[in-house]
Every structure is written in structure tokens, then in C-alpha cells.
């Protein structure tokens, strides 16, 4: 039974880290006039409300994008994607990763999104009526292996689990290794929480050891509430587009100064 709902956390400091790097990677990949295959294993509902009861209850968005929006100039791809979504859905709208990707991808790219929770799938379908988007109500990690290598081969996958199933931390290094063997040109971006109990550490270390050319980037921040276990955000990227390191370095400086 899945209980995680991203609406309580959308726009928090972890989302800002993940979405800024996702948008920067896609901005780079879409500069070439060649089609891309884009995947998400854990898509969520796509569209969130910063003034919704869930966001107001936790206050995470207020401590997140509400506080750091000026880190991103209007021409930053994350700011551009947010502006496209607020123009359509109003100033309190916040795009999840599928809407950020849709804002930056071109009409000839393909999107395949997996999400398991029925209510999230229904909301995602409403938020993304585009015909070139394939929505799958299935296990995202199984989808990652069954749909790769894609055609076109050039492309990117975001793996963004909720880590409700604690075995995800053990499964992910092998999954990423298999995925990389099947799709060695794919840009694979994994998000994970940095936790005060270090539950993420073995996974992150294994990934860094196995893939020494990958981009591994962590930022730290104060927990959203006293005693809350998440004290930072981690991103691990296979085949990182070259300029992503510069954006990661810039974000390191900004988070350190928070």
C-alpha cells in the first residue's frame, strides 16, 4: 500500500535541487536538433498547488521555492518551465518533473511516464493531455528495464522513488548497472534523500564506486521540521551533459549559504 503523496513536499528544497538539475540537463540535451526519448519511473501527479492544503500543512514549499526563487534568473531553464506552467495554471501552480520536462522537450521528442498510485495517475493524465506522452500505471523500475534501449536511443531517464520500500536502496545500484548495460548512451538521473540516519549512504557509495565517471552531487539543508530525517538531497547522473557540473557547483554555493 503506497502512502507517500508528493503534494506535501512539492517545491521543497529537495525538489528545487532535483528540478533545477533536471531542467539544466534537458536544456542542454534539447539544443541538438535530434529527437530524444525521455522517461520517468516515478512521475507523481505533475501539477501541484503551492497554496493547497497539503503544501500549507508542511510549509515545505514556503521554505523551498518560496524562499529561493531568486536563485534562478528568468532565462534559467527551471525558471522558464515554471513560468510556462504558471502562465497556464496560475501563480500558485508548481510543476512536478513531468511538466518541467514537457515544457522543455520538443514536439518530436517522446515521453514515457510510470506512476503506480491510481489517484496520482488520474491527476497526471489530466495535467498532461498531450498525445505524445505515454502514461503507464506500472512499477517504474520494471518499466526502466522493459522500455530500454529506446528508439531514438538518445535520451534521458529520471528515477525518483519515494523510498517507501526500504529495499529500494539495495535494488537501485544493480538496476542502474543493468540499465546502463542495456542503454549505455542514456542520461540516467537518480534522486535520493540525504538522511540523518544514513540509510542512503551505502547506496550512494556503491554507485560512486561502480560509476566513477558519473556526476554525484549532494546538498544539505535544515530539516523541514525538528526531528525530520531528511537533511539534504542527492543526485546521481550517468552520462551527465557537460554543463551540469557547473550548475551543480553553483547550487552547492547557494545551499551552503542558506
Regarding 140 and contact with ligand SAM (CB under 6 A), the answer is yes
- CB-CB contact of 158 with 22 (8 Å): yes
Q: State how far the Cα of 248 lies from the Cα of 20, in Å rounded to an integer.
A: 9
Instruction: Kindly state the smallest distance separating residue 107's Cβ from ligand SAM, in Å.
Output: 22
User: Least distance in Å: CB of 26 to ligand SAM?
Assistant: 13
Catalytic: which of 27, 109, 160, 213? 160
Which residue is nearest to ligand SAM, using beta carbons?
Answer: 96
Contact region with ligand SAM (CB under 6 A), list: 35-43, 68-76, 79-87, 214-222: 35-43
Count H helices and E strands in the chain, helices first: 11, 9
Min CB(236)–ligand SAM separation in Å: 15
Contacting residue, 27, 60, 109, 115, with ligand SAM by CB under 6 A: 115
Helix (H) or strand (E) holding 175, with range, is helix 168-182
Residue 23: C-alpha distances to residues 30, 79, 136, 205, 236 (Å): 10, 9, 22, 25, 15
Residue 117 as a binder of ligand SAM (CB under 6 A): the answer is yes
User: Of the candidates 86, 77, 79, 124, which has an alpha carbon nearest to the alpha carbon of residue 105?
Assistant: 77
Task: Note the residues at the interface with ligand SAM (CB under 6 A).
Answer: 2, 4, 6, 18, 40, 42-44, 96-97, 114-117, 120, 139-140, 160, 162
Residues assigned a catalytic role: 160
Amino acid at each position: 500500500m503506497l502512502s507517500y503523496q508528493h503534494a506535501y513536499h512539492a517545491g521543497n528544497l529537495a525538489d528545487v535541487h532535483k528540478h533545477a538539475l533536471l531542467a539544466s540537463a534537458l536544456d542542454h540535451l534539447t539544443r541538438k536538433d535530434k529527437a530524444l526519448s525521455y522517461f520517468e519511473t516515478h512521475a507523481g501527479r505533475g501539477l501541484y498547488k503551492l497554496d493547497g492544503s497539503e503544501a500549507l500543512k508542511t510549509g515545505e514549499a514556503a521554505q523551498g521555492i518560496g524562499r529561493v526563487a531568486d536563485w534562478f534568473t528568468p532565462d534559467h531553464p527551471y525558471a522558464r518551465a515554471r513560468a510556462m506552467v504558471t502562465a497556464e495554471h496560475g501563480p500558485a501552480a508548481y510543476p512536478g518533473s513531468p511538466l518541467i520536462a514537457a515544457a522543455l522537450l520538443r514536439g518530436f521528442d517522446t515521453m514515457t511516464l510510470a506512476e503506480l498510485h491510481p489517484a496520482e495517475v488520474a491527476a497526471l493524465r489530466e495535467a498532461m493531455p498531450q498525445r505524445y506522452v505515454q502514461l503507464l500505471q506500472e512499477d517504474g523500475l520494471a518499466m526502466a528495464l522493459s522500455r530500454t534501449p529506446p528508439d531514438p536511443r538518445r535520451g534521458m531517464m529520471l528515477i525518483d522513488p519515494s523510498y517507501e520500500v526500504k529495499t529500494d536502496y539495495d535494488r537501485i545500484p544493480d538496476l542502474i548497472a543493468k540499465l546502463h548495460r542495456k542503454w549505455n548512451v542514456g542520461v540516467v538521473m537518480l534522486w535520493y534523500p540525504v538522511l540523518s540516519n544514513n540509510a542512503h549512504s551505502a547506496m550512494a557509495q556503491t554507485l560512486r564506486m561502480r560509476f566513477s565517471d558519473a556526476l554525484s552531487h549532494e546538498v544539505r539543508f535544515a530539516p523541514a521540521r525538528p526531528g525530520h530525517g531528511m537533511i539534504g538531497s542527492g543526485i546521481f547522473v550517468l552520462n551527465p551533459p557537460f554543463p551540469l557540473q557547473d550548475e551543480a557547483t553553483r547550487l552547492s554555493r547557494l545551499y551552503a549559504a542558506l
